[in-house]
Structure 1
Amino acid sequence: MSEHVDILAFGAHPDDVEIGAGGILAKQAALGYKTAICELTYAELSSNGDVETRKREGKKAAAILQLAGRYSLGFPDRGLTGTAEQIQEMVRLIRRLQPKVVLAPYWEDRHPDHVACSRLVKEAVFDAAIRKKVPEVAPHRVQRLYYYFINNIGKADVIVDISTVYDKKRAAILAFESQFVPGPGRVATPLNQPSYLAMIEGRDQVWGHQIGAAYGEGLVSGQPLALRDLVF
């Protein structure tokens, strides 16, 4: 059975993609497209939760978003150095899944791992198309690379209406209870403050308003977007 997917979304940690592009993945899955998430680390340095908890939460979120697959490369948390070995592992996954579209974190973010992930994905997407890179696996050329926002908001090149699946996005984020819900034994972090999820929802409402929808998710393209015709 083929593992090929239409959209592969990379994040540095479990929950990154859910925050920035969970609605897009839920909507595309509902339309019949195959979607997948790959987190580069297990987030073993997180202030709350542990690796096994995050894995369980990730499986729950994957079911909510109807992902075709969820992958973890197990790079060190706060160790996304972009070594040849790290890039090669990402190239192998891209070639194995052959996505048409890849999503990555936006290159400006307060968390250094999100910034590093953005750079690593760009390099891996580029190398995945080079035949002489990782020659034991056939090359694959990704059609589109878009960047999603995690902690910031910015000017989007593309806004996707996610109004009909917003309940799924909200549920997928909250599946990571250890990160977003205060509780016994958990320390206070920016993520489990009431203002954080309110900020995410407000941001999605701002983008939605820009396209006449209740909720939207914004993406940035590193390359010009092509139209076949101005009238469509």
Structure 2
Amino acid sequence: MPTGVDVVAVAAHPDDLEITCGGTLALLVRQGYRVAMIDLTNGEPTPRGSPEIRAAEAEAARQVLGVPWRICVGLSNRLLMDSPENRFALATWFRRLRPQIVLAMAGRTPAASPDHYQAQLLIEAARFYSQLTKWDDRFANTPPYRVPHLVYAPVPADAEIRHWHTTFIVDISDTFEQKLQAVRCYRSQFDEARWERLRHFLSSYNGYLGSRCGFRYGELFALPQPMGTGNFVQTVLGGQPASQAGITSTAATHPLTPPDTLPHS
């Protein structure tokens, strides 16, 4: 089992992470980061699936994304709750993997599954539980570990309008097709008609997000607190020298807007 991973992404069911942030997970792997995926449940029962089918689909999707490790905690689909015992189970994995970042699918989806919001609450609580002392027997005798960072991957169809402290969009232009291939592995969940609707939605939604930052496709992320910086210019420009970002001593373009999309007056 790996320890000291960079990013652990967590969601309720197989296919949740692929749909929400699959392009970013594939990009992180390409960039050399150690990435693990955690499914809280196996996603079953569903009308056309089975535990064996879903496990095979999840493994196929993992291979498409190139993520080295995928774990199923084995909690109950449809009955998933932010309960003490479930917190212990997930926190034990945080203690084992010791990630720098926990990436949590976030949002309320009452028309889809209440599991998604319960998963968000569970991930938040398990991150806190992971650091608790004098309770090692509840965490399979694993040593306490404080996860430094929590990042949210907001669901596209949240039932609430959320005002996050900080949001940012990751450029997944080079991994968007890889994301679609990973989602397509879940044929038990998406027949041809449902797949075409989902493919169109992802192309439109990720295309919209990307276009806001000058990318072809993007994925949205949020932080539970403001992002601090000691360097205003590097934070805004993404580390580029000012001259490369179009900034001179006498004029400036908006650093967050691609030059060819600036309004003309």
Normalising by structure 2, report the TM-score: 0.79
Contact 1:128 1:140 in 2 (8 A): yes
Q: Deviations over 1:70-98 (max 9, x none)?
A: 00011111111222221101011001001
Aligned residues: 224
Higher relative contact order (CA 8 A, sep 6+): 1
Question: What secondary structure is seen at the aligned counterpart in 2 of 1:18?
Answer: helix
1:168-183 residue pairs with structure 2 within 5 A? 168-182=178-192
Is the CA contact 2:104–2:150 (under 8 Å) kept in the aligned structure 1?
yes
The 5 Å alignment of 1:92-171 reads 92-110=92-110, 111-134=113-136, 136-152=141-157, 157-171=167-181
Structure (1 or 2) with the larger CA radius of gyration: 2
Deviation at 1:193, TM superposition (A): 5.5
Distance between the aligned counterparts of 2:44 and 2:2, measured in 1? 31
Distance 1:131 1:68 in 2: 30
Gaps of 5+ in 1: 183-187
Within-5 A mapping of 1:201-216: 201-216=203-218
The TM-score normalised by the length of structure 1 is 0.90
The separation in 2 between residues aligned to 1:169 and 1:204, in whole angstroms, is 11
4+ residue runs over 6 A deviation: 153-156
Query: Is contact 2:80-2:119 (8 Å) kept?
Result: yes
**Cα gap change, 1:178 to 1:130, in 2 (>3 Å):** same
Residues 141-194 of structure 1: CA distance to partner in whole angstroms, max 9, x if unpaired? Answer: 222211113341677701100111111111110011111224xxxxx8xxx263
Quote the Cα distance in structure 2 between the aligned partners of 1:27 and 1:74: 27
Q: Is the 8 A contact 2:81 2:115 kept in 1?
A: no
Contact 2:184–2:195 (CA<8 Å) still a contact in 1?
A: no
Q: Name the % identity.
A: 31
For each residue in 1:84-114, what CA deviation from the matched residue of structure 2 results, as whole angstroms up to 9, or x when unmatched? 2211010110010011111112132232000
Structure-1 separation of matches of 2:119 and 2:134: 23
Q: CA RMSD in A?
A: 1.9
| Cα separation, partners in 2 of 1:220 and 1:108, compared to 1, 3 Å | farther
